[in-house]
Amino acid sequence: MSVLALEQIDSRHGLLQAVREVSLELERGQTLALVGANGAGKTTLLRTIAGAHRPAGGRIVFEGEDITAVPAHRSVRMGIALVPEGRRLFPGLTVEENLAVAARNDRPGRFDVESVLEAFPLLRPLRRARAADLSGGEQQAAAIGRALMSNPSLLLLDEVSLGLAPAAVDDVYRSLRTAIGEGTTVLLVEQDLSRALGFADRVACMLEGRLVLEGPAGELDRDRITQAYFGLRRPDEAPA
């Protein structure tokens, strides 16, 4: 049984349909990278899965249960954690206090403050530093660590590398790979195609709200993904 199944999901912002008939499945322990241009619907899809945006149509099934109408605070308790674009830490709280906030959901699992600091060693010397004083990479690590504190079965990551220096991205992905080694299912939005192909088991591409390409990362070459990203036909493809 899949951990997550999306069935013909539609999501709107007023009159704008941001997500169109998206169907997708994720098996336990898989990592799926979602790519696409700005405005393709990636963030809206993640927020819809997390319960932060109510779908206009379709069905979301998580671990066999229909959660289409479940709000975000209940989704967290059920095992879904979202790291939003922009991190959204509490700027006046320390790293350790930001982590502790997420522990209040009391889901059983291996993650607590110490295990998060072990997975993200760059945070250990900063545990008493205010979130507002951290670099972008340190804030991203803290945001992911905070999500892991809820011991999720499904981790949703929006724009992991956005605005970060390459060295900071390296640090975050290195720690993330260690942290998810226990079989957490991951759906991440990533603008860096090379990172997506190198990190994920599968890659999916969205265009104008639709899922236009999906498959194992090892079987999708960069050219094919780029063509889907921009909505271009390859020379060997006949018109629809």
pLDDT in tens, 118-150: 999 999 999 999 999 999 999 999 999 999 999
Mean pLDDT of the chain: 90
In-domain check, residue 206 = yes
214 in a domain, yes or no?
A: yes
Establish if 31 belongs to a structural domain: yes
> Domain of 14: which CATH number?
3.40.50.300
CA atoms within 13 A on the CB side of 39: 3
Instruction: Tell me if 213 sits within 8 A of 228, measured CB to CB.
Output: yes
Which of the pair, 239 or 178, is modelled with greater confidence? 178
pLDDT value of position 208: 95
CA distances, 134 to each of 103, 144, 167 (Å): 21, 14, 15
Report the pLDDT value the prediction gives residue 235, as an integer from 0 to 100. Answer: 41
Number of folded domains that form the chain:
1
pLDDT in tens, 48-83: 999 999 999 999 999 999 999 999 999 999 999 999
Is residue 24, in this structure, part of any structural domain at all? yes
Q: Is residue 240 part of a domain?
A: no
Q: What is the pLDDT of residue 238?
A: 45
* Longest CA span, the chain: 59
The alpha carbon of 237 is separated from its chain's Cα centroid by a whole number of angstroms, namely 31
Residue 219 lies in a domain: yes
- Using one digit for the tens of pLDDT, what is the confidence trace for 166-211? 888 888 888 888 887 767 899 999 988 888 889 999 999 999 999 9
pLDDT given for residue 16 in this prediction = 94
Cβ neighbours of residue 194 under 8 Å, at least 6 residues apart?
A: none
Give the amino acid at 52. Answer: A
> Does 236 map to a domain?
no
Residue 119's alpha-carbon distances to 74, 135, 157, 212, in angstroms, are: 26, 18, 17, 35
C-beta separation of 95 from 126 below 8 A: yes
Q: In terms of residue numbers, what domain contains 87?
A: 4-230
Instruction: Decide if 83 is inside a domain.
Output: yes
